[in-house]
Copies of this chain bind each other. A is one copy, B any other.
Protein backbone atom coordinates (compact mmCIF):
# COMPACT_ATOMS: atom_id res chain seq x y z
CA UNK A 1 0.00 0.00 0.00
CA UNK A 2 2.76 2.35 1.02
CA UNK A 3 4.38 1.80 -2.34
CA UNK A 4 1.21 2.65 -4.17
CA UNK A 5 0.92 5.82 -2.15
CA UNK A 6 4.41 6.86 -3.09
CA UNK A 7 3.97 5.77 -6.66
CA UNK A 8 0.78 7.63 -7.36
CA UNK A 9 2.15 10.71 -5.71
CA UNK A 10 -0.72 10.93 -3.29
CA UNK A 11 -0.85 14.00 -1.11
CA UNK A 12 -3.40 14.67 1.59
CA UNK A 13 -5.79 17.51 0.93
CA UNK A 14 -4.88 20.24 3.34
CA UNK A 15 -8.38 21.74 3.14
CA UNK A 16 -10.19 18.64 4.14
CA UNK A 17 -7.77 18.23 6.98
CA UNK A 18 -8.10 21.81 8.08
CA UNK A 19 -11.86 21.69 7.73
CA UNK A 20 -12.05 18.70 9.95
CA UNK A 21 -9.50 19.76 12.52
CA UNK A 22 -10.47 23.38 12.64
CA UNK A 23 -6.84 24.33 12.42
CA UNK A 24 -4.78 24.98 9.36
CA UNK A 25 -1.26 25.14 10.75
CA UNK A 26 -0.76 28.47 9.12
CA UNK A 27 -0.41 32.03 10.30
CA UNK A 28 -1.04 35.28 8.55
CA UNK A 29 1.35 38.22 8.49
CA UNK A 30 0.15 41.70 7.66
CA UNK A 31 2.92 44.13 6.83
CA UNK A 32 2.80 47.59 5.25
CA UNK A 33 5.38 46.92 2.56
CA UNK A 34 8.44 44.90 1.77
CA UNK A 35 10.27 47.71 0.14
CA UNK A 36 11.89 49.17 3.16
CA UNK A 37 14.74 46.84 3.95
CA UNK A 38 13.92 46.65 7.61
CA UNK A 39 10.41 45.34 7.15
CA UNK A 40 11.59 42.90 4.49
CA UNK A 41 14.10 41.50 6.94
CA UNK A 42 11.44 41.26 9.61
CA UNK A 43 9.06 39.48 7.26
CA UNK A 44 11.72 37.06 6.20
CA UNK A 45 12.72 36.29 9.77
CA UNK A 46 9.12 35.64 10.75
CA UNK A 47 8.59 33.41 7.77
CA UNK A 48 11.69 31.41 8.54
CA UNK A 49 10.97 30.94 12.21
CA UNK A 50 7.36 29.88 11.76
CA UNK A 51 8.19 27.64 8.82
CA UNK A 52 10.80 25.91 10.92
CA UNK A 53 8.12 25.23 13.48
CA UNK A 54 5.75 23.72 10.96
CA UNK A 55 3.52 26.65 10.08
CA UNK A 56 2.90 28.13 6.69
CA UNK A 57 3.10 31.91 6.66
CA UNK A 58 0.72 33.85 4.44
CA UNK A 59 1.95 37.39 4.00
CA UNK A 60 -0.14 40.31 2.87
CA UNK A 61 1.16 43.77 1.98
CA UNK A 62 -1.20 46.44 3.15
CA UNK A 63 0.47 49.46 1.52
CA UNK A 64 -0.68 51.47 4.52
CA UNK A 65 -4.16 51.27 3.06
CA UNK A 66 -6.87 50.70 5.62
CA UNK A 67 -9.19 49.09 3.08
CA UNK A 68 -6.53 46.64 2.00
CA UNK A 69 -5.75 45.87 5.60
CA UNK A 70 -9.31 44.96 6.33
CA UNK A 71 -9.76 42.94 3.18
CA UNK A 72 -6.58 41.01 3.76
CA UNK A 73 -7.44 40.50 7.40
CA UNK A 74 -10.81 39.06 6.43
CA UNK A 75 -9.21 36.91 3.83
CA UNK A 76 -6.87 35.46 6.41
CA UNK A 77 -9.66 34.91 8.89
CA UNK A 78 -11.71 33.19 6.19
CA UNK A 79 -8.86 30.85 5.58
CA UNK A 80 -8.81 30.05 9.23
CA UNK A 81 -5.22 30.92 9.88
CA UNK A 82 -4.37 29.97 13.43
CA UNK A 83 -3.11 33.44 14.23
CA UNK A 84 -2.35 36.77 12.62
CA UNK A 85 0.81 38.77 13.17
CA UNK A 86 0.49 42.49 12.66
CA UNK A 87 3.77 44.13 11.74
CA UNK A 88 4.57 47.69 12.81
CA UNK A 89 2.63 50.18 10.76
CA UNK A 90 -0.51 48.11 10.35
CA UNK A 91 -3.16 50.25 11.89
CA UNK A 92 -5.43 47.36 12.75
CA UNK A 93 -3.07 46.97 15.67
CA UNK A 94 -4.28 50.16 17.21
CA UNK A 95 -7.98 50.02 16.52
CA UNK A 96 -10.16 46.96 16.58
CA UNK A 97 -10.46 44.88 13.45
CA UNK A 98 -14.00 44.08 12.44
CA UNK A 99 -14.73 40.41 12.69
CA UNK A 100 -11.61 39.80 14.69
CA UNK A 101 -13.72 38.06 17.31
CA UNK A 102 -11.62 35.41 18.86
CA UNK A 103 -8.90 35.48 16.28
CA UNK A 104 -5.47 35.12 17.85
CA UNK A 105 -3.44 38.23 17.18
CA UNK A 106 0.12 39.26 17.87
CA UNK A 107 0.93 42.91 17.34
CA UNK A 108 4.52 44.00 16.87
CA UNK A 109 3.74 47.50 17.94
CA UNK A 110 2.26 49.38 20.83
CA UNK A 111 -1.38 48.35 20.94
CA UNK A 112 -4.17 50.75 21.54
CA UNK A 113 -7.52 50.32 23.14
CA UNK A 114 -10.05 48.23 21.31
CA UNK A 115 -8.24 44.97 21.12
CA UNK A 116 -8.19 42.86 24.19
CA UNK A 117 -6.48 39.56 24.64
CA UNK A 118 -3.94 40.46 22.04
CA UNK A 119 -0.34 39.46 22.47
CA UNK A 120 2.32 41.92 21.58
CA UNK A 121 6.01 42.47 21.32
CA UNK A 122 6.84 46.09 21.68
CA UNK A 123 10.12 47.66 20.79
CA UNK A 124 10.89 50.66 22.93
CA UNK A 125 11.18 52.97 19.95
CA UNK A 126 11.13 56.02 22.13
CA UNK A 127 14.16 55.07 24.20
CA UNK A 128 15.93 53.76 21.12
CA UNK A 129 15.47 57.07 19.32
CA UNK A 130 16.58 58.99 22.38
CA UNK A 131 19.64 56.79 22.68
CA UNK A 132 20.56 57.48 19.07
CA UNK A 133 20.24 61.21 19.65
CA UNK A 134 22.34 60.97 22.81
CA UNK A 135 25.05 59.35 20.75
CA UNK A 136 25.06 62.40 18.50
CA UNK A 137 25.08 64.66 21.54
CA UNK A 138 28.09 62.73 22.77
CA UNK A 139 29.87 63.88 19.64
CA UNK A 140 29.16 67.44 20.69
CA UNK A 141 26.13 68.21 18.54
CA UNK A 142 23.62 70.69 19.87
CA UNK A 143 21.22 71.36 17.03
CA UNK A 144 19.91 68.01 15.84
CA UNK A 145 17.21 67.64 13.20
CA UNK A 146 14.92 64.70 12.63
CA UNK A 147 13.86 63.06 9.38
CA UNK A 148 10.83 60.96 10.20
CA UNK A 149 8.01 59.06 8.52
CA UNK A 150 4.87 60.89 7.63
CA UNK A 151 2.71 57.87 8.40
CA UNK A 152 1.18 58.35 11.77
CA UNK A 153 1.94 54.94 13.16
CA UNK A 154 2.69 54.60 16.85
CA UNK A 155 6.32 53.78 16.09
CA UNK A 156 6.71 56.96 14.09
CA UNK A 157 5.27 59.02 16.90
CA UNK A 158 7.43 57.34 19.51
CA UNK A 159 10.61 57.92 17.56
CA UNK A 160 9.85 61.59 17.24
CA UNK A 161 9.03 61.71 20.94
CA UNK A 162 12.36 60.05 21.75
CA UNK A 163 14.21 62.55 19.61
CA UNK A 164 12.49 65.34 21.49
CA UNK A 165 13.14 63.70 24.88
CA UNK A 166 16.87 63.66 24.31
CA UNK A 167 16.95 67.24 23.12
CA UNK A 168 14.81 68.60 25.91
CA UNK A 169 16.82 66.69 28.51
CA UNK A 170 19.76 68.97 27.77
CA UNK A 171 17.71 72.04 27.10
CA UNK A 172 18.36 72.00 23.36
CA UNK A 173 16.02 73.26 20.69
CA UNK A 174 13.42 70.73 19.59
CA UNK A 175 11.08 72.80 17.54
CA UNK A 176 9.05 71.82 14.52
CA UNK A 177 11.45 73.62 12.22
CA UNK A 178 13.95 70.84 12.99
CA UNK A 179 11.54 68.08 12.02
CA UNK A 180 10.77 66.95 8.48
CA UNK A 181 8.51 64.08 7.59
CA UNK A 182 8.20 62.12 4.38
CA UNK A 183 7.71 58.76 2.76
CA UNK A 184 9.56 55.74 4.06
CA UNK A 185 11.66 55.60 0.93
CA UNK A 186 14.97 56.91 -0.32
CA UNK A 187 13.09 59.64 -2.12
CA UNK A 188 11.25 60.58 1.05
CA UNK A 189 14.51 60.92 2.93
CA UNK A 190 16.02 62.95 0.13
CA UNK A 191 13.16 65.41 0.02
CA UNK A 192 12.97 65.81 3.80
CA UNK A 193 16.68 66.33 4.12
CA UNK A 194 16.68 68.89 1.35
CA UNK A 195 13.89 70.71 3.14
CA UNK A 196 15.80 70.70 6.43
CA UNK A 197 19.25 71.60 5.19
CA UNK A 198 18.92 73.49 1.97
CA UNK A 199 19.47 77.21 2.41
CA UNK A 200 16.44 77.74 0.23
CA UNK A 201 14.35 75.29 2.14
CA UNK A 202 14.32 76.95 5.53
CA UNK A 203 15.52 80.40 6.38
CA UNK A 204 18.01 79.42 9.06
CA UNK A 205 19.46 82.87 9.03
CA UNK A 206 16.22 84.02 10.55
CA UNK A 207 15.35 81.10 12.74
CA UNK A 208 18.71 80.28 14.16
CA UNK A 209 21.50 77.89 13.57
CA UNK A 210 21.13 75.07 11.03
CA UNK A 211 21.34 71.52 12.38
CA UNK A 212 24.76 69.90 12.51
CA UNK A 213 23.32 66.40 12.92
CA UNK A 214 20.26 64.37 11.94
CA UNK A 215 18.33 61.47 13.37
CA UNK A 216 16.78 59.61 10.43
CA UNK A 217 14.12 57.14 11.50
CA UNK A 218 14.70 54.54 8.78
CA UNK A 219 17.67 53.25 6.82
CA UNK A 220 16.06 53.73 3.40
CA UNK A 221 15.39 57.34 4.18
CA UNK A 222 18.98 57.68 5.36
CA UNK A 223 20.07 56.66 1.85
CA UNK A 224 18.18 59.66 0.54
CA UNK A 225 19.60 61.87 3.27
CA UNK A 226 23.15 60.95 2.33
CA UNK A 227 22.35 61.67 -1.28
CA UNK A 228 20.85 65.05 -0.42
CA UNK A 229 23.82 66.03 1.75
CA UNK A 230 26.17 65.06 -1.04
CA UNK A 231 24.29 67.22 -3.47
CA UNK A 232 24.25 70.16 -1.11
CA UNK A 233 27.98 69.86 -0.78
CA UNK A 234 27.73 68.89 2.87
CA UNK A 235 30.19 66.29 4.01
CA UNK A 236 28.96 63.49 6.28
CA UNK A 237 29.91 63.35 9.11
CA UNK A 238 31.99 66.55 9.15
CA UNK A 239 29.28 69.02 8.22
CA UNK A 240 26.33 66.83 9.10
CA UNK A 241 26.42 63.76 11.31
CA UNK A 242 23.73 61.12 10.77
CA UNK A 243 22.36 58.27 12.82
CA UNK A 244 19.53 56.19 11.42
CA UNK A 245 17.19 53.53 12.78
CA UNK A 246 16.69 50.07 11.37
CA UNK A 247 19.99 48.30 11.14
CA UNK A 248 19.54 46.67 7.75
CA UNK A 249 22.37 44.74 6.16
CA UNK A 250 23.07 47.29 3.46
CA UNK A 251 23.42 50.16 5.91
CA UNK A 252 27.08 49.22 6.24
CA UNK A 253 27.69 49.83 2.56
CA UNK A 254 26.53 53.37 2.11
CA UNK A 255 29.00 56.22 1.70
CA UNK A 256 29.87 56.75 4.47
CA UNK A 257 28.64 53.62 6.28
CA UNK A 258 25.67 54.42 8.46
CA UNK A 259 25.63 54.35 12.20
CA UNK A 260 22.26 52.79 12.78
CA UNK A 261 20.13 51.55 15.60
CA UNK A 262 19.59 47.90 14.84
CA UNK A 263 16.48 46.03 15.85
CA UNK A 264 17.09 42.34 16.23
CA UNK A 265 14.41 41.04 13.87
CA UNK A 266 15.49 37.47 14.39
CA UNK A 267 14.94 37.74 18.11
CA UNK A 268 11.58 39.40 17.60
CA UNK A 269 10.52 36.66 15.19
CA UNK A 270 11.60 33.92 17.57
CA UNK A 271 9.75 35.48 20.47
CA UNK A 272 6.69 35.88 18.28
CA UNK A 273 6.70 32.21 17.48
CA UNK A 274 7.16 31.28 21.15
CA UNK A 275 4.23 33.37 22.27
CA UNK A 276 1.89 32.52 19.43
CA UNK A 277 2.56 28.82 19.18
CA UNK A 278 2.06 28.52 22.92
CA UNK A 279 -1.31 30.20 22.50
CA UNK A 280 -2.26 28.03 19.55
CA UNK A 281 -1.14 24.67 20.82
CA UNK A 282 -1.44 24.96 24.58
CA UNK A 283 -4.15 27.55 24.80
CA UNK A 284 -1.68 29.76 26.58
CA UNK A 285 -2.69 33.20 27.73
CA UNK A 286 -1.88 36.23 25.61
CA UNK A 287 1.46 37.69 26.57
CA UNK A 288 3.11 41.01 26.01
CA UNK A 289 6.80 41.60 25.89
CA UNK A 290 7.56 45.26 26.21
CA UNK A 291 10.63 47.41 26.32
CA UNK A 292 12.58 45.55 23.66
CA UNK A 293 15.68 47.58 22.90
CA UNK A 294 17.88 47.75 19.86
CA UNK A 295 21.61 48.26 19.77
CA UNK A 296 23.68 50.83 17.99
CA UNK A 297 25.76 49.57 15.09
CA UNK A 298 28.61 51.99 14.73
CA UNK A 299 29.46 53.16 11.22
CA UNK A 300 31.13 56.40 10.39
CA UNK A 301 28.18 58.62 9.52
CA UNK A 302 27.98 59.75 13.15
CA UNK A 303 31.55 60.90 13.37
CA UNK A 304 32.96 57.99 15.34
CA UNK A 305 35.67 57.46 12.75
CA UNK A 306 36.74 61.06 12.68
CA UNK A 307 40.23 61.83 13.51
Residues of A that sit less than 8 Å from B by CB: 9, 11-16, 18-19, 24, 33-35, 37, 40-41, 43-44, 47-48, 51, 56-61, 63, 68, 72, 74-75, 77-80, 98-99, 101, 185-187, 189-190, 220, 223-224, 226-227, 230, 249-250, 252-255, 257
Contact = CB atoms under 8 A, between A and B. Distances in A.
A187 B254 CA distance: 11
A98 B109 CA distance: 41
B80 A61 contact: no
B9 A78 contact: no
Interface majority SS (helix, strand, loop, mixed), chain A: helix
Contacts of A250: 185-186, 220, 223
Contacts of A220: 250
A235 to B, nearest CB: 12
B61 A48 contact: yes
Contacts of A19: 13, 15-16, 19
B34 A24 contact: no
Given A16-B19, A249-B185, A253-B190, A35 B24 contact: no
Contacts of A98: 9
A142 to B, nearest CB: 27
Contact of A226 (B33, B58, B74, B255): B255
28 contacts: A9-B101, A11-B74, A11-B77, A11-B78, A13-B78, A14-B75, A15-B15, A15-B18, A15-B19, A15-B80, A16-B19, A19-B19, A34-B40, A34-B43, A35-B40, A35-B41, A37-B37, A47-B61, A48-B61, A51-B60, A58-B58, A185-B250, A186-B249, A186-B253, A227-B255, A227-B257, A230-B255, A254-B255
A265 to B, nearest CB: 11
Contact of A56 (B41, B79, B230, B253): B79
Q: With a 10 A CB-CB cut-off, give which of A43, A57, A187, A255 has the most chain B CB atoms.
A: A255
Contact of A33 (B35, B44, B58, B60): B44
A15 B24 contact: yes
Given A11-B74, A35-B41, A51-B68, 17 more contacts: A11-B78, A13-B80, A15-B79, A15-B80, A34-B43, A34-B44, A35-B40, A48-B61, A51-B60, A56-B58, A56-B79, A189-B253, A190-B253, A226-B253, A226-B255, A227-B253, A254-B254
A61 B262 CA distance: 23
Nearest to A58: B58
A60 B51 CA distance: 9
A61 B51 CA distance: 10
A14 B252 contact: no
A48 B68 CA distance: 10
A8 to B, nearest CB: 10
Contact of A252 (B12, B61, B186, B252): B186
Contact of A34 (B34, B56, B68): B34
